[in-house]
Structure 1
Amino acid sequence: MSSPPTHEPVIEVLTALRANVMGLTETVLSTVDGLAVASDAESVHPDSVAALCAAAHGLALRLAHEVGGGPLREVVTRSAGRSIVIETVGDRALLTVVGDDGLDLVALRRELHRTVERLEELLRGDTPHDGT
């Protein structure tokens, strides 16, 4: 049986993602039903972001299904001065990243795969924290 992750290793993964991607300003890990799990955020309210991103993810799932798309990969919202990317983490979690106008989307896409894999491991509780 897996145990829930402690917040410290999860926050370390979120902090590393922000350090590796220029323009990434905030990260929030949440459940698909909108509960914040952990965050590396200073200017956004993680509980509000978690709830709104769960709703956006749910709508995007429905839209992808309606137009005959395959499994939903990500939800992207761009506004003046901000980009928000919602990435699925397994079946039960969402990783939301917020970036400014300088968000390096190429670096983000490169780093997201490794970050999501690590978060999945931590959420399953089946790997020890080794700082990677």
Structure 2
Amino acid sequence: MPDTLTTDLLLKVLTALRDQVVGVRGTVVATADGLAVTADADGTHLESLAALSAATLSLGRRTAQEAGGRGVREVTTRWAMGYVVVLAIGDRALLTVLGDAGLDLATLQRVIPATIEQLESLLAADTLD
């Protein structure tokens, strides 16, 4: 797990994402196997969300393989009251973005590459296994 300084830096990146994108109501960083690392989210069961997000990304990758694709970077689920977007952070971690019905997907798509790069850099020195 990341040390306290790394966790604080991760939270700053997550807070910046919430501030930049209208409709983001929470974010979670987890390991690829579904263990919660840190979160900027209220009212969610962090461990369950981390595990389900890892399963969602894995299922998305497997579905893409069956369809002849590879390199899945994200899986988006839209529901009546909002969105859940699960994004790969390299091969070892993932980011889950919880959005309300007004989530600005265009802005999210524009800012997410830099966010993923920052998170990947911060996690690179830590052992997430």
TM exceeds 0.5? yes
Q: Please list every run of at least 4 consecutive aligned residues from structure 1 whose deviation after the TM superposition is greater than 2 angstroms.
A: 3-6
Do the aligned residues in 2 keep the contact of 1:4 with 1:124 (CA within 8 Å)?
A: no
The yes-or-no answer on 1:54 pairing with 2:54 is: yes
Post-superposition offset of 1:71:
0.8
1:96 aligns with 2:96: yes
CA RMSD of aligned residues (A): 1.5
Q: How far apart, CA to CA, are the structure 2 residues paired with 1:103 and 1:57?
A: 20
Instruction: Answer whether contact 2:2 2:37 (CA < 8 A) is retained.
Output: no
What's 1:33 paired with?
33
Asked whether 1:109 is paired with 2:109, we answer yes
Say if 1:29 and 1:36, in contact at 8 Å, map to a contact too: yes
What is the distance in 2 between the residues matched to 1:25 and 1:18? 7
Say how many residue pairs are matched. Answer: 124
Deviations, residues 27-80 of structure 1 (Å, cap 9, x unaligned): 000001000001000121211110001111111111111110121021000000
Matches of 1:54 and 1:73, distance apart in 2: 12
Per the TM alignment, residue 99 of structure 1 is displaced from its structure 2 partner at its CA by: 0.4
CA–CA separation in structure 2 for the residues paired with 1:63 and 1:24: 27
Q: Percent same amino acid at aligned positions?
A: 51
* Structure 2 residue runs without a partner (length 5+): none
Equivalent AA in structure 2 for residue 74 of structure 1: E
Q: Which amino acid aligns with 2:44?
A: V
TM-score, scaled to structure 2: 0.91
**Counterpart-to-counterpart distance in 2, 1:43 and 1:106:** 26
